[in-house]
Structure 1
Amino acid sequence: MNSDQIFHLAAIVVYFVAMLAIGWYAYRHTTSHKDYLLGGRDLSPWAAALSAGAADMSGWLMMGLPGAIYVSGLVEGWIAVGLTVGAWLNWKVVAPRLRAYTEISGDSITIPTFLENRLRDRTHLLRIVTGLVILVFFTFYISSGMVAGGVFFRDSFGSSYLAGMLLVTGVTLAYTLFGGFLGVSLTDVVQGTLMMLALLVVPVIAVVRLGGPGETIARLEQIAPDHLSALGGSALTGAATLTIVSALGWGLGYFGQPHIITRFMAMRDVAQASSARRIGIAWMLLSMGGAVSGGLIGLVWFTETGEPLDDPETVMLAMSRVLLHPIVAGLVLAAVLAAIMSTISSQLIVCSSALVEDLYRIVARRQPPVRRLMALGRGAVLLVAVIAALLALDPQDSILGLVSFAWAGFGAAFGPIVLLALFWRRLTAWGALSGMTVGAVLVFVWSALDTGLYEIIPAFAANLVVAVLVSLATARTRGADRAVIDDEFDRTVAVVHGRSTGRGGAAGDDAGDALAGIPGTASDTAALG
């Protein structure tokens, strides 16, 4: 190991220690099962925004997007456009209602529990199926992140794949296991900030070294003029249109990603959604802009200097090694790890909630004590991590390609149902279950057909249509349930539009006032559910 690698490793050790320290802090402030799975609904706008962003982006932002731009140019940037628009709509449309509705409807702390309470599903079938879908998809999703961590250490430091994978898994597991949702969210704030700074600093220094923005663009126009075209330099053909539509379709996935929308549920109150949206979208625009510009500037840099670049996805890392002091370049490497680990930890918490809150509590004959629920939550995190690590032992069996597939799966299965549950009072449990099933199955079918159109688009549309039609055909909710459903829906609308006060409503009101004295809330509705 040379001196530069020692500096790099020292920076990563500092990063690991910081993550573990935050996890310990969160452990000291986690006293209940609700704290462990949802942070006590006490996230600030900054924490909610940066946590959602860091959980969302994974290593794709640090490596995948710059590499794609390096190879193909701005035509690959349509995914970034689709994701940014989808994230803005998610914060604008879903966040306020989900924050209010999940508290009003039985104080639900997971998406499956919310759907069961909201739709009065006494069979528990909807909650079980939703929990199982989350569990299966995320176990493989987590495994792909562990593989990425192993490959990162192997390629960056020459270590064995297994040692790198186990190290990343161990540190991530430690702060997630003990810190729970709060630990994950607080580490995400640090990780999200680190990712953004790395994506901004490296391109800026490269541009300065290349002679400024004007000179850099002029050189790029000489080297690869098509890279500056949003159509790749070609006419808008049918194939190009299909590619652009598919890329924009990624934005549909946001409405159904459990590890992202749980951040909305964890905010202190509805009024903070606006501030969190502005922070989150600003972070996203800066980070996306840095990733896109990094790919373009990297092409100019490595063409002009003649330095070799074996893997385009390492363009940001390779530039950081050349342009920055080794200890700062080590922090850029840590930012890549941050992107990987923040997503893994968020998904581990969602899997824990699926196992304990959505499956175990259904079969438990009585309400388990708080200490047992917290122990079970940590045990579930450990169990899922072990299974995912076993799947990741052989990198040849990795499913890194499942990242886009899982995004489509979650988005098509859950996205339309979440939107209908929040905005259409006539949705029924059978409508939700039917739509969810059709959406998930069609993702598999459409992917196998290989039509060139991203599978989330037809699957999302089919889910929406089926859920509406089946709901209209099965709208036979009993009178008492109908009255409570309508009451909860109306009170949610009132809270979101500022006509109600308290913890779920306007900022600054005392905790608990939103539901106090209102018939049919929390405990009352739980009894009816």
Structure 2
Amino acid sequence: MSYGMLLFIALLYIGITVYLGWLGYQHTKSSKDYMIAGGEVHPYLMAMGYGSTFISTSAIVGFGGAAAVYGMSLLWLTAFNIICGVFIAFVILGTRTRSMGAILNVQTFPEMLGVRFRSKFIRTFSAIVLTVSMPLYAAAVMIGGARFMEQALQVNYTAALLIVAFIVGAYVMAGGMKGVLYTSAFQGTLMLLAMFLLMVLTYVKLGGITAAHQALTSLADKVPASLVEQGHMGWTAMPETGSILWLYVITTLVMGVGVGVLAQPQLAVRYLTVKSNKDLYRALAPGGVFILMMTGVGFTVGALSNVFFNDKFGKISLLMAIDPATNAPNIDKIIPLFITEAMPSWLGYLFLLTLLAAAMSTLSGQIHAIATSVSYDLFKSSRGDKGQLKLARYGTLFGFLVTLLISFILPGNIIAIATAIFFGLCAASFLPMYVSGLFWKRATVPGVTWGMVVGTVVYVFDMLFMHTKEATIFKVSQLILGKDTIAGFPWNVIDPLVIALPASIIVTLVVSLVTKPMEQSHIDKCFGFQSLRNQETTNTLNR
């Protein structure tokens, strides 16, 4: 490895990132600039900012590693990500969010929900859920970037974590949303280029598309017996319907993340950064292509890594990624190892920057969301706009430190699991309330309040006491009850979202229908009818 060349490329990348962060700082003059970039962002910047915040090292490293274990079945997640995460998100939720956000003059996701329902509790509870859960997801992203740096550069894992965290924390603290979007557009473009090259070179390495997939299919007899017992039927086939792996792949990885993206606060706020709904439509194409390349290529290459490792070392990917510290497989190491072993060194350099870009772009959006929730929704400054801007930067420091601390605590094999937890919790807590606020005029404050609380409580309880994947990590059930989980099959495998989201929806609907509707004048204002009626009255008087 040419460390001189790698150092030059890394310094060039960091230099560009720092410059764009500084540019964001120069253009950040108010709290509105810091929160939503002034609300006049170009569609391409918005699409790249949205996509690179959505897709991170958790998708490329964590879920790519998961695809190396579970196979092409994860491509269903790519389909869900494009349908839900781009088309439904932009065309249905995004346009209404942008319009309502402009009418209500709001700058954060919790603020929009709180103002829409005239409830300080809703705003505060939403901000608390976001502030408590987001660092877990951010830590997973930080771990993904650090793991690849550790593998590619052979540097200490702790040092890698500190490097990633420091760079991101610095430019988010300085440039706010503008710094986030400027750097994310650059990083997203770099990610697109690298993933395209990775796809092409992987197929070239394995003898072409047809040969690669046929070789992967023929490896079905290499599946470990423990996975076969759980329903694994090969890397090009879906797990056996109803099996442990089928329930995990479908309910946790596909549904949990594919549906959970619709209620991501750090993504929803992106809709407020553009000046018209037409700009959201213009962002559809680059946003869709970006998600397709990031997840589709990542999951495909992850599965195909089994062919390369089997041909070269006689082992499947899972058995190549043994962690010396635990002497157990760590799927978070599979993609970094594949890049190091299978790809030319120059792509390894480029991919190192790509994963750093993926980590930094997502982390910047996450830490920005934590900062605005803490500084704006929970502890709003009474010292005017300049005081609010200063407080927001303190909030960024808080998010940065908490995320870094969690990164040191979390165990291995955590990236995909932590991502699914955050996505699922957001869907259970926010999605019924978010959709009701945007489209259902009959939704009431008690209805959405109880729906949000019930969704959150049910999800957290299921995660800590029933679902085996998380219960065995957090060990709350073991500590209190003396056993890993209180549920048997299939409830210990079905993702908490499958139970918590319907519970949240039902409670929101039922309680709203039996409680007093909100004032019509407020509903008219939220849905843009009040200004229309005022204009009609003015026209009548003029006539």
Q: Which residue of 2 aligns with 1:378?
A: 393
Identity of aligned residues (%): 24
User: Which runs of 5 or more structure 1 residues have no equivalent in the other structure?
Assistant: 495-499, 501-514, 521-529
* Cα distance change on mapping 1:398 and 1:372 into 2, 3 Å: farther
- Give deviations 1:274-325, integer Å, cap 9, x for gaps: 1212221121112222113212332222222338763254454444445555
Q: Which residue of 2 aligns with 1:258?
A: 265
Q: Which residue of 1 aligns with 2:92?
A: 93
User: Which residue identity lines up with residue 24 of structure 2 in the other structure?
Assistant: A
Give 3-state SS (helix, strand or coil) of 2:283's partner: helix
Q: Which moved more, 1:130-139 or 1:304-313?
A: 304-313
Q: Which residue of 1 aligns with 2:526?
A: 488
The aligned runs of 1:27-426 (5 Å cut-off) are: 27-87=25-85, 88-105=87-104, 107-121=105-119, 124-224=120-220, 227=234, 229-232=236-239, 234=240, 236-237=241-242, 242-243=247-248, 245-246=250-251, 247-250=253-256, 251-306=258-313, 310-311=320-321, 313-322=332-341, 324-361=343-380, 366=382, 368-394=383-409, 396=411, 400=415, 401-426=417-442
* Cα distance change on mapping 1:143 and 1:75 into 2, 3 Å: closer
User: Which residue identity lines up with residue 522 of structure 2 in the other structure?
Assistant: V
- Post-superposition offset of 1:389: 2.2
Mapped partners of 1:464, 1:381: distance in 2: 33
Mapped partners of 2:133, 2:308: distance in 1: 39
CA contact (8 A) 2:62 2:144 kept: no
- Post-superposition offset of 1:190: 1.9
- Post-superposition offset of 1:191: 1.9
Give 3-state SS (helix, strand or coil) of 1:427's partner: coil
CA contact (8 A) 2:110 2:377 kept: yes
Q: Is structure 2 residue 435 aligned with structure 1 residue 429?
A: no
Q: TM-score, normalised by structure 2?
A: 0.82
User: Which residue identity lines up with residue 255 of structure 2 in the other structure?
Assistant: G
User: Which runs of 5 or more structure 2 residues have no equivalent in the other structure?
Assistant: 222-232, 322-330, 468-490, 539-543
User: Which residue identity lines up with residue 175 of structure 1 in the other structure?
Assistant: Y
CA contact (8 A) 1:144 1:398 kept: no
- Give deviations 1:317-375, integer Å, cap 9, x for gaps: 444445555343211011112222222111111111112221223xx5x5x32211111
CA contact (8 A) 2:70 2:235 kept: no
CA contact (8 A) 2:247 2:494 kept: yes
- Give deviations 1:365-403, integer Å, cap 9, x for gaps: x5x322111111111101221233233344559964433
Of 433, 438, 454 in structure 1, the residue corresponding to residue 495 of structure 2 is 454
User: Which residue identity lines up with residue 364 of structure 2 in the other structure?
Assistant: S
- Post-superposition offset of 1:252: 1.9
- Post-superposition offset of 1:55: 0.8
* Cα distance change on mapping 1:519 and 1:411 into 2, 3 Å: farther
CA contact (8 A) 1:252 1:415 kept: no
User: Which residue identity lines up with residue 306 of structure 1 in the other structure?
Assistant: F
Aligned residues: 486
Give 3-state SS (helix, strand or coil) of 1:475's partner: coil
- Post-superposition offset of 1:108: 0.6
Q: Which residue of 2 aligns with 1:440?
A: 456
CA contact (8 A) 2:89 2:262 kept: yes
Q: Which residue of 1 aligns with 2:473?
A: none
Give 3-state SS (helix, strand or coil) of 2:12's partner: helix
- What's the C-alpha RMSD, in Å, of the aligned pairs? 2.8
CA contact (8 A) 1:63 1:316 kept: yes
User: Which residue identity lines up with residue 458 of structure 1 in the other structure?
Assistant: I
* Cα distance change on mapping 1:238 and 1:490 into 2, 3 Å: farther
Give 3-state SS (helix, strand or coil) of 1:392's partner: helix
Mapped partners of 2:234, 2:88: distance in 1: 29
- Post-superposition offset of 1:161: 2.5
Mapped partners of 2:156, 2:534: distance in 1: 57
- Post-superposition offset of 1:175: 0.9
Mapped partners of 2:357, 2:96: distance in 1: 30
CA contact (8 A) 1:231 1:240 kept: no
CA contact (8 A) 2:134 2:366 kept: yes
Mapped partners of 1:516, 1:135: distance in 2: 39
User: Which residue identity lines up with residue 360 of structure 2 in the other structure?
Assistant: M
* Cα distance change on mapping 1:352 and 1:9 into 2, 3 Å: same
* Cα distance change on mapping 1:390 and 1:380 into 2, 3 Å: same
- Post-superposition offset of 1:165: 1.4
Q: TM-score, normalised by structure 1?
A: 0.84
CA contact (8 A) 1:143 1:398 kept: no
Mapped partners of 1:148, 1:282: distance in 2: 23
Give 3-state SS (helix, strand or coil) of 1:224's partner: helix
Give 3-state SS (helix, strand or coil) of 1:10's partner: helix
Mapped partners of 2:139, 2:343: distance in 1: 32
* Cα distance change on mapping 1:398 and 1:355 into 2, 3 Å: farther
- Give deviations 1:109-162, integer Å, cap 9, x for gaps: 1112111221223xx222111111111112333333334444433333232222
Mapped partners of 2:114, 2:442: distance in 1: 14
Mapped partners of 2:534, 2:412: distance in 1: 53
Mapped partners of 2:213, 2:236: distance in 1: 13
- Give deviations 1:217-237, integer Å, cap 9, x for gaps: 3333333385454424x4x34
CA contact (8 A) 2:101 2:112 kept: yes
Give 3-state SS (helix, strand or coil) of 1:176's partner: helix
* Cα distance change on mapping 1:115 and 1:206 into 2, 3 Å: closer
* Higher-RCO chain (CA-CA 8 Å, sequence separation at least 6): 1
Give 3-state SS (helix, strand or coil) of 2:55's partner: helix
Mapped partners of 2:21, 2:370: distance in 1: 18
- Post-superposition offset of 1:519: 9.8
* Cα distance change on mapping 1:398 and 1:371 into 2, 3 Å: farther
User: Which residue identity lines up with residue 242 of structure 1 in the other structure?
Assistant: L
